[in-house]
Amino acid sequence: MIAASHNSSQFDTWQSCMRAAITDPRELLQLLDVDMKFLPAARLSAARFGLRVPRGFLARIRRGDIDDPVLRQILPLGAELDDRPQFVADAVGDLAAARVPGLIQKYRGRALLIASGSCAVHCRYCFRREFPYGEHTASRADWRAALAQLAGDSSIHEVILSGGDPLSLGDAKLAALTRGLAGISHIKRLRIHTRQPVVLPERVDAAFCGWLRQTQLQKVMVLHINHAQEIGPELVAACAALLEAGVVLLNQSVLLAGVNDDVDALHALSEALMAMRVLPYYLSLLDRVRGSGHFEVSEERAKLLVGTLMGRVPGYLVPRLVREIPGQASKTPVAVSLMT
């Protein structure tokens, strides 16, 4: 581990931390003492989907280790260039499900807003790495089209902010949304799917928590943490602040080869989540998006891992193993049996 490269974080705004993110593969390899022989491939893969990682997050990565489970999630590797026939651009059928730009409803009772196209970090396995965000964010024009659709459909009780990362938006944009939602009586819950508190804990500042606290809707935040090593003291503090603001905290992970595809890693993650009062929600099998084939874990192995975890921890610390199948009415559960 290395010390956070910016120890003045209480003076930096989250926006300046976001702007200062590392985008040059050479700089990343240098800062982490990783062999420069990985640079040419990193550059080629970054030309397809750019490298992006906040400087503070480097503190969560071991130096000089190309196999580090956190580094593997953010470093462009040559393996991304191996095209595999079943790995495609829109792996989850999102484009077909858009009702107005940025509003996607695939499941009953809840609708998802693509709130922002940008993220503080670029996760190499992300199914949105090929998503054409330009035309598809709901926050343009102050959410008007999306709010009109939501107001006209009383079957929707929950609005999910997703992206990209919805917390790439500033607090004023978020507040405009909640003001709009407050006028729609059938909307009860606001859910936020975000990785920002993990990779850029500065985002969870006093102004943001103030917005959450005064929002009348029930609030759920689904974090995205794949490995216990991603959890540092800043994230622990951010979770405490979110809980204090009245947010229910859950976590979803993606099962990733070379990152968290072993029982000890999953066990440690569940325990570390619980230690900060975050419950595991989903463990997703990888969506087959172009360039992510090297992260795939077979369904058979996934069942073995989760079945073994079941024998080790309380039921509430076992995430639900799911896969996303276009056209289904929810995420599709993968049946797991207890392994002893």
Indicate the residue among 122 and 136 with the shorter CB distance to ligand SF4: 122
Indicate the residue among 126 and 169 with the shorter CB distance to ligand SF4: 126
Q: Could you tell me the sign of the dihedral formed by the alpha carbons of 295, 202, 131, 96, in that order?
A: positive
Minimum CB distance to ligand PLP, residue 302 (Å) = 18
Binds ligand SF4 by CB under 6 A, chosen from 46, 53, 121, 231: 121
Asked if 54 interacts with ligand SF4 (CB under 6 A), we say: no
Could you say which of ligand SF4, ligand PLP, none residue 239 binds, taking C-beta under 5 to 8 angstroms by partner kind? none
Indicate the residue among 22 and 192 with the shorter CB distance to ligand PLP: 192
Beta strands in the chain (DSSP E): 98-100, 103-107, 110-116, 158-163, 189-194, 218-224, 247-254, 279-284, 320-323, 332-333
Query: Which residues from 205-224 bind ligand SF4, rule CB under 6 A?
Result: 224
DSSP letters along 285-303, please? Answer: PPP-BTT-GGG---HHHHH
- What are residue 161's DSSP bridge partners? 113, 192
Binds ligand SF4 by CB under 6 A, chosen from 25, 76, 102, 164: 164
Could you say which of ligand SF4, ligand PLP, none residue 124 binds, taking C-beta under 5 to 8 angstroms by partner kind? none
Indicate the residue among 107 and 133 with the shorter CB distance to ligand PLP: 107
What is the Cα–Cα distance from 234 to 60, expressed in whole angstroms? 11
* Rg of the chain taking only CA atoms, in angstroms: 19
Asked if 188 interacts with ligand PLP (CB under 6 A), we say: no
Q: Would you say 45 and 76 are in contact if contact means Cβ atoms under 8 Å apart?
A: yes
Check residue 10 and report its DSSP letter.
T
Q: Would you say 197 and 238 are in contact if contact means Cβ atoms under 8 Å apart?
A: yes
User: What track of x and - describes contact with ligand PLP for positions 302 through 331 (by CB under 6 A)?
Assistant: ----------------------------xx
Residues 6+ apart with CB under 8 A from 104: 94, 97, 98, 111, 112, 113, 114
Binds ligand SF4 by CB under 6 A, chosen from 55, 60, 72, 128: 128
Could you say which of ligand SF4, ligand PLP, none residue 331 binds, taking C-beta under 5 to 8 angstroms by partner kind? ligand PLP
Asked if 107 interacts with ligand PLP (CB under 6 A), we say: yes
Binds ligand PLP by CB under 6 A, chosen from 72, 106, 124, 136: 106
DSSP letters along 81-127, please? Answer: G---TT-BSSTT-TGGGEEETTEEEEETTEEEEEEES--SS--TT-G
Quote the distance between the C-alpha of residue 69 and its chain's center: 16
Indicate the residue among 106 and 290 with the shorter CB distance to ligand PLP: 106
> How is residue 177 written in tokens?
């949304």
Indicate the residue among 111 and 256 with the shorter CB distance to ligand SF4: 256
Asked if 280 interacts with ligand SF4 (CB under 6 A), we say: no
The two beta strands, 110-116 and 158-163, are parallel
Asked if 123 interacts with ligand SF4 (CB under 6 A), we say: yes
* Interface stretch with ligand SF4, choices 26-34, 93-101, 103-111, 121-129 (CB under 6 A): 121-129
Q: Would you say 324 and 286 are in contact if contact means Cβ atoms under 8 Å apart?
A: no
> How is residue 195 written in tokens?
């990785």
Indicate the residue among 55 and 331 with the shorter CB distance to ligand PLP: 331
What is the Cα–Cα distance from 203 to 197, expressed in whole angstroms? 6
What is the Cα–Cα distance from 145 to 147, expressed in whole angstroms? 6
Minimum CB distance to ligand SF4, residue 125 (Å) = 7
Minimum CB distance to ligand SF4, residue 164 (Å) = 6
- What are residue 48's DSSP bridge partners? none
Indicate the residue among 121 and 212 with the shorter CB distance to ligand SF4: 121
Q: Which residues bind ligand SF4 (CB under 6 A)?
A: 119, 121-123, 126, 128, 163-165, 195, 224
